[in-house]
Amino acid sequence: MQFFVDTAEIADIKKLYETGLLDGVTTNPSLVAKSGRNFKEVVKEICGIVPGPVSAEVAALDYDGMIAEGEVLAKLADNVVVKLPLTFDGLRATKTFAGRGVKTNVTLCFSPNQALLAAKVGATYISPFIGRLDDINLEGMELIEQIRTIYDNYNFTTQILAASIRSANHVTQAALAGADVATIPPSVIYKLVDHPLTKNGLEQFVKDWKSTGQSIL
Ligand code: G3P
pLDDT of residue 102: 98
User: Whole-angstrom Cα distance, residue 124 to residue 53?
Assistant: 11
Beta strands in the chain (DSSP E): 2-6, 24-26, 54-57, 80-85, 104-109, 125-128, 159-162, 181-184
Query: At 2, is the secondary structure helix, strand, or coil?
Result: strand
Residues recognised as catalytic = 83
Given a contact cutoff of 8 angstroms between Cβ atoms, the answer to whether 119 and 159 are in contact is no
Q: Specify whether the CB–CB gap between 53 and 59 falls below 8 A.
A: no
Ligand 1 neighbours (beta carbon < 6 A): 6, 26, 28, 129, 131-132, 163-164, 166, 183
The per-residue pLDDT for 171 is 98
End-to-end CA distance of the chain: 37
Q: What is the pLDDT of residues 172-209, one digit of tens each?
A: 999 999 999 999 999 999 999 999 999 999 999 999 99
Q: What is the distance between the alpha carbons of residues 109 and 107, in angstroms, rounded to a whole number?
A: 6
Q: How far is CA 158 from CA 107, 141, 148, 199, in A?
A: 13, 18, 10, 39
**Could you read off the pLDDT tens digit of each residue along the chain, which spans 217 residues?**
999 999 999 999 999 999 999 999 999 999 999 999 999 999 999 999 999 999 999 999 999 999 999 999 999 999 999 999 999 999 999 999 999 999 999 999 999 999 999 999 999 999 999 999 999 999 999 999 999 999 999 999 999 999 999 999 999 999 999 999 999 999 999 999 999 999 999 999 999 999 999 999 9
| Residue 166: how many other CB atoms lie within 10 Å | 17
Long-range Cβ contacts of 196-200 (<8 Å, 24+ apart) = none
Ligand 1: centre distance to CA 103 (Å): 20
pLDDT at res. 150:
98
Rounded to whole angstroms, how far apart are CA atoms 158 and 135? 26
Q: Cα(56) to centroid of ligand 1, in Å?
A: 14
The pTM score is 0.96
Distance 202 CA to ligand 1 centre (A): 34
Question: Are the C-beta atoms of 177 and 144 separated by less than 8 Å?
Answer: yes
